Amino acid sequence: PNVANIPQQLQMFGSVGWLFAVVDRIATGTALVQWHLHQRRRDEREEVADHELLRLWRRPTPFYTQVELVETGMQHYSLVGEMWWVKIRNLSGKVVELWPVRPDRMTPVADRQEFVAGYVYRMGAETVPLRREDVIFIRRPSPLDPYRGCGPVQSLLMDLDSERFSAQWNRNFFIRGAEPGGVI
């Protein structure tokens, strides 16, 4: 997979109507699932009503709800085959926030012994090294790169571009009065 075209894959979400509809339906449907936490007691499962993990899940950041966290993650997963969440810890090491981050800004750091030593988050010129345990990475495995995911949009990029360009041409045709050009 070409990591350089991940921003293009993400941009297709807002550029092609049917792609938006499909990805939005999947992301919204997944985000609206009622999540539960259970603990095992002997041979039975018992639902846990209140737990710090549930509180984090319901309000992962001061700016994101659980629905927005899952929806954003599923948009990324559906478009590029990767979902990245970064754990933010307080001074005592407890996870207090869970942030969705764009796939094109994350880079796994390969390691011979540990496979992945950590990650680097890039935003502009700023880079933030992240420990392995502070990143949740869910991917649709890539047949070409064991460190990255593979999404359906990269296989559709040419078709999606053609559809976008055709729609733009049709739009311009009607804006110009729907008169064919040229001389007969």
pLDDT score recorded for residue 166: 76
Round to whole Å and give the CA distance between 112 and 133.
18
How does pLDDT run along the chain (184 residues), one tens digit per residue?
556 678 888 888 887 888 889 999 999 999 999 999 999 988 899 999 999 999 999 999 999 999 999 999 999 999 999 999 999 999 999 999 999 999 999 999 999 999 999 999 999 999 999 999 999 999 999 988 999 998 887 777 667 667 777 777 777 777 777 676 666 6
- Measure the CA–CA gap between 184 and 174, rounded to whole angstroms: 20
pLDDT at 6: 83
Whether 95 and 43 have beta carbons less than 8 Å apart is answered as no
CA separation for the pair 76, 143 (Å, rounded): 19
Q: Which amino acid is at 1?
A: P
HSE-up of 92 (CA within 13 Å, CB side)? 2
- Provide the pLDDT for residue 47: 92
pTM, rounded to two decimals: 0.81
In order of 74, 103, 132, 137, the CA distances from 82 in angstroms are 9, 6, 16, 7
pLDDT score of 104: 94
How far, rounded to the nearest angstrom, does the alpha carbon of residue 72 sit from its chain's CA centroid?
6
Question: What is the rounded CA–CA span in Å between residue 86 and residue 72?
Answer: 13
Three-class SS of residue 98? strand
